[in-house]
Amino acid sequence: MTCKRILIFLLTLAMAAGLFACGGPDNSDPMFGEWSEQREDGFGTTYHFKGDGKGELRVLDLVNYFSYTYDDSKIYMEIHVDNPPIKRVYDYKIEGNKITLGYTNDSGEYSETVCYKK
């Protein structure tokens, strides 16, 4: 009887280890976490990168969902505000707890947003 209990315990432990290894956000994603713009007027933007290629973009009380991929210098984002989603490509640079996002709009104007990790 004791041998059977040990075997069941070991199998349960192995299954739990497998679930934890496969699930959850990818913390190796450099964008993982919540980044907030700190503006004096209080109208800042918050990006929440969940580590699974999805996230939330918050401005005031509005929340928009997005999906993203990235490479060494660009974030490719689809913001699900409309159908079809709005596609944007941001330049990005991470320095410690600071991320700088750059974007060129349809008029050719380039703007940068600096956010700090919460």
The string of pLDDT tens digits covering residues 29-52 is 888 999 999 888 878 889 999 999
The pLDDT of 16-39, averaged and rounded, is 66
Question: What integer pLDDT is reported at residue 4 of this predicted model?
Answer: 53
The pLDDT of 6-21, averaged and rounded, is 41
Residue 17 pLDDT > 70: no
Name all contacts of 67-75 with Cβ < 8 Å and 24+ positions apart: 68/31, 70/29, 70/30, 70/31, 75/31, 75/101
What is the SS3 assignment for 20? helix
Note if the bond before 84 is cis, omega within 30 degrees. yes
Question: What integer pLDDT is reported at residue 1 of this predicted model?
Answer: 53
Residue 59 pLDDT > 50: yes
Categorize the per-residue pLDDT at 117 as very low, low, confident or very high, splitting at 50, 70 and 90.
Answer: very high
What is the SS3 assignment for 61? coil
E-only strand ranges, the chain = 33-37, 45-49, 54-59, 62-70, 74-79, 86-95, 98-104, 110-117
The string of pLDDT tens digits covering residues 68-104 is 999 999 999 999 987 899 999 999 999 999 999 999 9
Distance CA 99, CA 31 (A): 8
pTM (two decimals): 0.71
Domain locations in the chain? 26-117
Please, what's the b/e burial string for 18-44 (b: 16 or more CB within 10 A of its CB; e: otherwise)? eeeeeeeeeeeeebbbbbebeeeeeeb
Question: What integer pLDDT is reported at residue 3 of this predicted model?
Answer: 52
CATH (one of 2.40.128.50, 3.90.1170.50, 3.40.50.720, 2.60.40.420) for 26-117: 2.40.128.50
